[in-house]
Structure 1
Amino acid sequence: MNDPGTRPSGTTAEAAAEQVAADFHALYGAVPEGVWAAPGRVNLIGEYTDFNDGLVMPLALPHAAVAAVSRRDDGRLRIHSAEAAATGQGVVQLDVTTLSPGSDTGWAAYPAGVVWALREAGHAVTGADVHLSSTVPTGAGLSSSAALEVVTALALNDLYGLGLTGAELAVLAQRAENAFVGVPCGVMDQMASACCTEGHALHLDARDLTRRQVPFDLAAEGLRLLVVDTRVKHALGDGAYAQRRAGCEAGARALGVRTLRDVPYERLDDALARLDDPTVRAYVRHVVSDNQRVERTMALLDAGDVRAVGAVLTDGHASLRDDLRVSCPELDLVVSAAVGAGALGARMTGGGFGGSAIVLTDAGLADKVATAVEEAFVQEGYPEPRVFTAVPSAGARRLR
């Protein structure tokens, strides 16, 4: 099992800081003013609920975007990525005064969008030199874009003395992705990257951004949470995500509520009976029931019954597959193969249409479960998945 996630939390980012700073110096001819990191995340439960003002429970991963950054006072924004450089792309040069939504559709739109969002909010960001390197897999549903946004936001917040909190930076980063990049995501990914703490899952109420750090020490329970990256790439900007958001909003209008968060789980059957569109009905059923699954998971963790969370995960996958219809054959295969090999439960995580699944299993069965998934992929002729252990890790922070 390929398992970089078993490293101690933060090791990946801290070890990368020196190299990222050296690469910055080689690119720009100066020592950076600082180096920052922001992690990717995996979502334990609560999918497509955040933009419905609902509940989610993500945790940060050791995999992170690391940025070396210095200020500029001439309006120039220079951005470089080690990963983009591997495909022959050089420094992206922009003018902060002419940044506008849709003006950049490549990878640089994520950090550039943050600069735009900060300036639009009245913060006097006059330019920057940025060098980025990330170990968050792209297209895997692990929030690689949010990591880029949050690390940029945190660096500029520190360098320009803006005094913004982690939650405020997350909201600005979400605005960058919504308005500048054009992906109508909720705030979970950015909040997880900005606000998670080591050894905990983050219980987040997306309506008012209230948070609770929930102890999540699976090793002490003899359990492991595996992440299975199917290597099937997804693109949330292709309209499928926006279509489901629009369907949820249509459901809320038809039910006369502000958002689907306002539909009590106990009244779900009554609400569904009032909806004529079968697609909208299915979306509503998923969102309301997934909010309830977050509450069930919290109650189980509080009671120390961590093993019972597995059944909640599998139930959540069925809802994502059948009601929201955002799964795919590879994700379904992860769930069926893992549960068939003795895992306690599994589900797809993230936006779907590819990406990753999570598997809750006894630690002693982890290798057997991972092998069963890998063999199932070989049998179906799929590319080998990447399997690693999710270690609840630190959120965004300054490294040097």
Structure 2
Amino acid sequence: MTNTDTHAAALAETAAAAFRSTFGTEPEGLWAAPGRVNLIGEHTDYNDGFVMPFALPFYAVVAAAKADEWSFHSTYGEGETVRAQDLGGPTGGTVDGWAGYLAGVAWALNESGYPVGPTRFALHSDVPVGGGLSSSAAIECAVLIALADLYGHDIDRAEAARIAQKAENEYVGAPTGVLDQSASLLCEAGHVMFMDCRDLSREQVPFDLAAADLTMLVIDTQAPHRHADGEYAARRADCEEAARQLGVPFLRDAPKHAKLDDERLNRRMRHIITENERVLQTAALLKEGRTAEIGGLLTASHTSLRYDYEVSSVELDSAVDAALGAGALGARMTGGGFGGSAIALVEAASAQKVEAAVVDAAAQAGLPTPRVFTARAAAGAHRVR
């Protein structure tokens, strides 16, 4: 067993049991990849900017073996098995729905020069679906490392992240950046990963909240979060248009005080410019051990996402406002937005008070009851056995 924990191992055994039950044989191996929380650096990845994610101890796990045909089984709901003779391509794929994430990775590997053949998969995951915690990227990354192992490909993890992103962008049709896949593949336990999305250079920064008597709460608002919808694509298009008008490759290259005639584009651009600066400031504070001081940057990030980038929601705003009102040092939405999750940095002694305030605020507003849990920085994708 390599680089895993007891929780990932337990999930893997469930996947193995599902594989045996569905296909009547033993899998050749078990592979796990985590969901993620982005500490700060939202919507900066597809602008060639900076991000700071860490992996969560929630995993997508696949049991897999070579076979005569492509078969994808999932434990979601009542369990479903999808078989395909042909994976198709981005304009004519024969696999859609949840199985498209698995098929898309196989297609992307073949397209990227890493040939793989028919394989049986059984998928089991406890990464919250629709919570903005990268459940889809976790699936993609687990499948990718499984196929790489099964077919003898030694793929650099940064390149693997690009291949998984290709699957999501071109096969599934979600115009995401590379943050989610990079976090799932590259994060290390006990660390937050500072990454430059231009060249995927990265630095693992120690993230020991307990030593500073701090806790990070993740607040899943239970409001569905969908990356493939038109609003996400519209934000990306705005950024590309702003960069085009400025004559720069990406908004990461925009001058600090750049201004355009279009006020909407100015707001989008302002968020990207200031968010990149907040990531750099957060990294510097963490390296100096001044963890509590990042709270203000988290809150400023949410304000920017709420008003300049316009990707928050009533559920996210309720969670952030309630957390701050109850004494959180900082809070922000995390992920693509339009629902999903928020995070709150709190003093350990006040964690229960903040959680109660968030749940009560949702009830008062007639919103879904949030699921709140304490986050720890977990290991990235790995083979379980």
Residue in structure 1 matched with residue 380 of structure 2 by the alignment: 395
Q: How many residues align?
A: 382
CA distance in 2, matches of 1:127, 1:105: 17
Following superposition, the deviation at residue 98 of structure 1 comes to 3.3
Report SS of the residue matched to 1:202.
Answer: strand
One-letter identity of the residue aligned with 1:377: A
Corresponding residue SS for 1:22: helix
What is the SS of the residue equivalent to 1:60?
Answer: strand
Partner of 2:38: 43
Is the partner of 2:42 in helix, strand or coil? coil
Q: Does the CA-based 8 Å contact 2:33-2:138 persist in structure 1?
A: yes
Structure 2 stretches lacking a partner, 5+ long: none
Cα-to-partner distance string for 1:78-97 (whole Å, 9 max, x where unaligned): 001101xx2x4521011246
Once residues 252 and 208 of structure 1 are traced to their aligned partners in structure 2, the CA distance between those partners, rounded to angstroms, is 19
CA contact (8 A) 1:96 1:126 kept: no
Equivalence for 1:80? 73
Other-structure match for 1:368: 353
CA contact (8 A) 2:188 2:204 kept: yes
Counterparts of 1:213 and 1:16 in 2: how far apart (Å)?
26
Letter in 2 for 1:292: E
Q: Find 1:383's aligned residue among 368, 372, 376.
A: 368
User: In the alignment, which residue of structure 2 is the partner of 1:308?
Assistant: 293
CA deviations on 1:300-331 (whole Å, 9 max, x unpaired) are: 11111111101000000000000000001111
Query: Percent identity, aligned pairs only?
Result: 53
**Any conservation in 1 of the 2:16–2:63 contact (CA below 8 Å)?**
yes
- The equivalent position to 1:92 in structure 2, one of 68, 76, 82, is 82
Change (3 A) 1:370 1:154: same
For the residue of structure 2 that corresponds to 1:98, the secondary structure is coil
Once the two structures are superposed, residues 284-311 of structure 1 have per-residue CA deviations (whole angstroms, 9 ceiling, x without a partner) of 0000100000001011111111111010
Give the corresponding residue for 1:68: 63
Say yes or no: does 1:289 pair with 2:274.
yes
Aligned-pair CA distance for 1:206: 0.4
Instruction: Verify the 8 A CA contact 2:27 2:65 in the aligned structure 1.
Output: yes
Tell me if 1:55 matches 2:38.
no
Superposition deviation, residue 207 in structure 1: 0.3
How far is 1:268 from its partner? 2.2
SS in 2 for 1:48: coil
**SS state of the match for residue 93, structure 1?**
strand
CA contact (8 A) 2:12 2:124 kept: no
Q: 1:262 aligns with which of 253, 259, 277?
A: 253
Contact 1:10–1:393 under 8 Å retained in 2: no
Q: Is the 8 A contact 2:220 2:371 kept in 1?
A: yes
- What letter corresponds to residue 193 of structure 2 in structure 1? L
The residue aligned with 2:209 is 218
Distance 1:234 1:327 in 2: 11
Q: Distance in 2 between matches of 1:201 and 1:291?
A: 16
Aligned partner of 2:118 in structure 1 is 127
**Partner Cα separation in structure 2 for residue 344 and residue 97 of structure 1:** 48
User: CA–CA distance in 1 between the matches of 2:312 and 2:221?
Assistant: 12
Amino acid of the structure 2 residue aligned with 1:33: E
Contact 1:203 1:213 in 2 (8 A): yes
Mapping for residues 174-193 of structure 1, pairs under 5 Å: 174-193=165-184
Q: 1:196 to 1:38 in 2, by over 3 A?
A: same
Aligned-partner Cα distance in 2 for 1:188–1:97: 26
Q: Which of residues 292, 298, 310 in structure 2 aligns to 1:325?
A: 310
Aligned-partner residue type, residue 46 of structure 2:
F
CA contact (8 A) 1:96 1:116 kept: no
Runs of 5+ consecutive residues of structure 1 not aligned to the other structure: 1-8
Judge conservation of contact 2:87–2:103 (CA < 8 Å) in 1: no
Helix, strand or coil at the partner of 1:91: strand
User: Tell me, what secondary structure is at the counterpart of 1:226?
Assistant: strand
Cα distance in 1 for residues equivalent to 2:293 and 2:90: 48
Q: Is the 2:66–2:150 contact (alpha carbons within 8 Å) kept by the matching residues of 1?
A: yes
Letter in 2 for 1:59: F
Q: Is this contact kept in 2: 1:224–1:360, CA < 8 A? A: yes
Q: What is the rounded CA distance, in whole Å, between the counterparts of 2:282 and 2:301 in structure 1?
A: 11
TM-score between the two structures when normalised by the length of structure 2:
0.97
| Matched residue type, 1:94 | A
* CA–CA separation in structure 1 for the residues paired with 2:72 and 2:204: 33
| Aligned alpha-carbon RMSD (Å) | 1.3
2:55–2:379 CA contact under 8 A, matched in 1: yes
For 2:226 and 2:11, the matched residues in 1 are separated by: 28
Q: 2:264 aligns with which of 248, 259, 279?
A: 279
Q: Counterparts of 1:186 and 1:352 in 2: how far apart (Å)?
A: 14
| Paired residue secondary structure (1:217) | coil
Give every structure 1 segment of 4 or more consecutive aligned residues whose post-TM-superposition deviation is greater than 3 Å.
96-102
